[in-house]
Amino acid sequence: MKFSIRHAESVVGGFILLAAALLCGILVMVGANQRWFARNYYFHSRFQSGAGISPGTGITLKGFTVGKISKIVLNDNNTVDADFFIFDSYIGKVRKNSVLELATSPLGLGGGLLFYPGKDAERLPEHSYIPSMDFEDGKSIVERELADVPPRDDTLTRLLANINPLVDNINKTVVNVNKTVTTLNGALKGDGETEVGRIVKGIGSTVRGVNGTVADLDSTVAIVKTELPGLVERSNALLDSLKAISGNLEQTTAAMRDPTGLVPKLLDPKGSLKTLLDDNGVLFAKIDAMLSDTDKTIKNVESMTDTLKSSMPEITSLLAEGKTTLIQTQDVLEGLKNNPLLKGGIPERKTQEAAQPGYRDEDF
Amino acid sequence: MIRNLGAAAIRGAADFFYAIGFFFRVVKNGALYFRRGQVGFRVLVMQILFTGVQALGVSAIIALSLGAVIIIQGSSLLPQFGQSRLMYTILIIVITRELGPLLTAFIVNARSGTAIATELGTMVVSHEIEAYVSVGLDPISYLAAPRVVGVTVSMLALDIYFNVFGLIGSYLVARLIRPIEFNEYFGGIAAALTATDIVSGLLKCFVFGIIVSVTAVYRGFAVQRASTEIPVAGIKSVGGGFVLCILADAVLTLIYYI
């Protein structure tokens, strides 16, 4: 026989008892949550209209439900009498000069009953009348600031106040996105006025500048190449002339060192002066040759100076352009490094292999 | 033709009044069942075992699935409208008030309604009922009343389990798919669940239990002499039980909202 049939009574008893226990547990949970075992304190009030409230409508204090309406009745004066209760946990808030406000939504989305505790320390006894702000007594309490009424907090105004910054932010975002897209398009076209555009634009001009500089450098090198042999030749000639001058000066110095002296020689009729004056123009020829060499040397120096002078602006401009090119290249590289929109990086450089490899590269 | 129509109407009215009389007699015997002490107690226990305990698995699976589906759908759809708290209200309405009792009634009707009708029909065909009568036992008191009480009590218990599995157990299923805070969930359930919901669900179960069991007993006793009538009695028991439960549900819901 199956266990459940053999012990049918126990199984069924357990089944029923467990169900009853669960039901009791659920009821206790619901009761505790819905304050079946808590005490409520009853009060009454009066309103101009009962629109938006009904029995069971919550009474709130700063967003917390502190009580509920238990009954509303239209009385003989065409005003609405309302009975309500306050939860025991909030009964300390019900003090003298407390007021009620019937708040209805301007959009017709229902309403609610707001409770404002009085500033007086004296507590109101149960079943007391608490005035509402629909009547003069309630208004008077609020005007005399005897109740703790928070500043007006119009929901629509608050919503609009919250929405306006949002709309502003959205507008700014849209404008920024638009501007970014325009900038990006301009930058990609290379005619933008922004940093990216200028960078892209600068790349072209820089490349053109580099090309021009390289061309200038080539022409300068060519000029230097052509001028160099002449310069060397002139320098050699200048050195020869200087050598000759140096030899002459050496001879002169040696002559001056002669102990017989220059003056006796000059004064001696058979001396140097006579020789000087009566040497068939040898001295003159020497002086003339010397002057001629000096003149030639000076001319060579002048020519070299002129050549250097004429080359100086080119060298200066070459150096300046080189410097500018390096700065621009650095900017471009910085821009490329910082720009997340330019993808792909720098392509790998391939070195051009020589068509005819050298003998040194071959393995023996 | 008019004669036939009139005869059918008279027969229908007689059957209807007979059914009403039978219904009240069974209900009366069921209500007085506990006053008679141990008479048919074993029958009651076995009926609760078959109808309640053995249907618990099916009921739990349906409740878990239904609750999990509502939680998953509600927690993904309702926050889009800023009405997350409505999920608990929907859960209570569906599981506690409406579908819980109705699905429990369907399960019991499909399992036990047919079994009762078939069993009683077989007893009629095999003259067991006549034997009970011959020894002075009232078949309604000894056979029908414990079954009605057993089915009704089982329905009430199954509805409580259905609520427990649907509201609490489904949380565990839903948590596997969508993380929901335990405190948030049970706080929301406790705030949405009222005593009216619980009483409403239990009242429906009580009514459905009586309807299902009385229909099954009625159809079982309605078998005359042929064994071929037994399956027909089972089918009619299930069909009638479904229709009457839905009608009763509509009436009770209408009364609740009026």
- The span from the first CA to the last CA of chain B, in angstroms, equals 44
- Distance CA(B11)–CA(B6), nearest Å, equals 8
Q: Is residue B161 a contact partner of residue B54, using CB atoms and an 8 Å limit?
A: no
Q: What is the mean pLDDT of chain B?
A: 88
The residue-averaged pLDDT of B135-145 equals 88
The residue-averaged pLDDT of B195-222 equals 92
Share of chain A above pLDDT 70, in %: 75
Residue A120 neighbours by CB under 8 Å, 6+ apart:
A95, A96, A97, A146
The residue-averaged pLDDT of B198-212 equals 93
pLDDT of residue A172: 82
Question: Could you give phi then psi for residue A83, rounded to 5 degrees?
Answer: -100, 140
Picking from B48, B164, B195, the nearest residue to A30 by CB comes out as B195
According to DSSP, residue B178 is labeled S
- B212 CB burial (10 A radius; 0-12, 13-18, 19+): buried
Question: A17 and chain B: CB distance < 8 Å anywhere?
Answer: no
Half-sphere exposure of B158 (CA within 13 A, CB side): 38
pLDDT of residue A312: 82
Task: Work out the pLDDT band at B13, boundaries 50, 70, 90.
Answer: very high
- Whose CA is closest to B198, among A28, A7, A198? A28
Q: Which tokens sit at B193?
A: 């669940």
Rg of chain A over all Cα atoms, to the nearest angstrom: 57
Minimum mean pLDDT range among A197-201, A337-341, B175-179, B200-204: A197-201
Residues A105 and A200 in one domain: no
Minimum mean pLDDT range among A192-196, A295-299, B106-110: A192-196
pLDDT single digits (tens) B43-94: 889 999 999 999 999 999 999 888 888 888 887 888 787 777 788 888 889 8
pLDDT of residue B33: 82
pLDDT of residue B236: 93
> How many contacts (CB atoms, under 8 Å) link A and B?
55
Q: How far is A340 from chain B (nearest CA, A)?
A: 37
pLDDT of residue B109: 94
Cβ of A30 and B164 within 8 Å? no
Alpha helices (H) along chain B: 2-31, 41-48, 56-77, 86-91, 99-108, 114-125, 128-134, 139, 145-164, 170-177, 182-192, 195-221, 229-257
Position A164 pLDDT exceeds 80: no
Question: A177 and chain B: CB distance < 8 Å anywhere?
Answer: no
- Whose CA is closest to B209, among B111, B115, B101, B117? B101
Residue B88 neighbours by CB under 8 Å, 6+ apart:
B188, B189, B191, B192, B193
Q: How far is A129 from chain B (nearest CA, A)?
A: 30
> Which chain B residues contact residue A30 at CB under 8 A?
190, 193-195, 198
Question: A8 and chain B: CB distance < 8 Å anywhere?
Answer: yes
What is the separation of C-alpha B131 from the centre of its chain, rounded to a whole number of angstroms? 30
Q: Is residue B75 a contact partner of residue B175, using CB atoms and an 8 Å limit?
A: no
Residues A48 and A137 in one domain: yes
Q: Is residue A113 a contact partner of residue A84, using CB atoms and an 8 Å limit?
A: yes
Residue A213 neighbours by CB under 8 Å, 6+ apart:
A318, A321, A322, A325
The residue-averaged pLDDT of B120-145 equals 91
Task: Work out the pLDDT band at A275, boundaries 50, 70, 90.
Answer: low
The residue-averaged pLDDT of A30-52 equals 85
> Which chain B residues contact residue A15 at CB under 8 A?
48, 52-53, 56, 157
Position A354 pLDDT exceeds 70: no
Give the β-pairing of A58-61 and A111-116.
parallel
pLDDT of residue A249: 84
* Domain around A220: 195-338
Residues A124 and A201 in one domain: no
Q: Which residue has the tokens 């141990």?
A: B38
- Whose CA is closest to B50, among A84, A214, A167, A2? A2
The residue-averaged pLDDT of A246-275 equals 65
Position A267 pLDDT exceeds 60: no
Question: B161 and chain A: CB distance < 8 Å anywhere?
Answer: yes
Residue A164, in any domain of the structure: no
For an interface test with A, the pick among B43, B49, B193 (most A C-beta atoms closer than 10 Å) comes out as B49
Q: What is the mean pLDDT of chain A?
A: 79
Task: Work out the pLDDT band at B204, boundaries 50, 70, 90.
Answer: very high
Give the β-pairing of A80-87 and A40-47.
antiparallel
Position A266 pLDDT exceeds 70: no
pLDDT of residue A1: 59
Half-sphere exposure of B217 (CA within 13 A, CB side): 30
Question: A24 and chain B: CB distance < 8 Å anywhere?
Answer: no
- Distance CA(B228)–CA(A119), nearest Å, equals 85
Looking at the structure of chain A, the number of domains it has is 2
Residue B98 neighbours by CB under 8 Å, 6+ apart:
B249, B253
Question: A22 and chain B: CB distance < 8 Å anywhere?
Answer: yes
Report the 10 Å Cβ neighbour count for B123: 19
185-224 in chain B: CB under 8 A from chain A:
190-191, 193-195, 198
Minimum mean pLDDT range among A171-180, A204-213, B125-134: A204-213
Give the angle A53-A72-A83 at the CA atoms, nearest 5°: 105
Residue A360, in any domain of the structure: no
pLDDT of residue A107: 54
Position A264 pLDDT exceeds 60: no
pLDDT single digits (tens) A243-258: 888 888 888 777 666 6
pLDDT of residue B250: 93
Position B173 pLDDT exceeds 80: no
Residue A241, in any domain of the structure: yes
Cβ of A8 and B46 within 8 Å? yes
Cβ of B48 and A5 within 8 Å? no
The residue-averaged pLDDT of A12-26 equals 93
pLDDT single digits (tens) A72-109: 999 898 899 999 999 888 888 888 889 998 876 655 55
pLDDT of residue B210: 93
Cβ of A27 and B198 within 8 Å? yes
pLDDT of residue B101: 93
Question: B46 and chain A: CB distance < 8 Å anywhere?
Answer: yes
Q: Is residue A148 a contact partner of residue A177, using CB atoms and an 8 Å limit?
A: no
- Distance CA(B40)–CA(B146), nearest Å, equals 6
Position B34 pLDDT exceeds 80: no
Cβ of A12 and B52 within 8 Å? yes
pLDDT of residue B154: 94
pLDDT single digits (tens) A195-222: 666 666 676 677 777 778 778 878 877 8
Residues A51 and A128 in one domain: yes
Q: How far is B244 from chain A (nearest CA, A)?
A: 26
Picking from B49, B156, B190, the nearest residue to A12 by CB comes out as B49
Cβ of A12 and B53 within 8 Å? yes
Residue A309, in any domain of the structure: yes
Cβ of A8 and B54 within 8 Å? no
Each domain of chain B, given as residue ranges in start order, spans 2-257
Share of chain A above pLDDT 90, in %: 10
Task: Work out the pLDDT band at B243, boundaries 50, 70, 90.
Answer: very high
Cβ of B195 and A31 within 8 Å? yes
Question: Could you give phi then psi for residue A159, rounded to 5 degrees?
Answer: -65, -45
Position B169 pLDDT exceeds 80: no
Cβ of B45 and A26 within 8 Å? no
The residue-averaged pLDDT of A338-351 equals 67
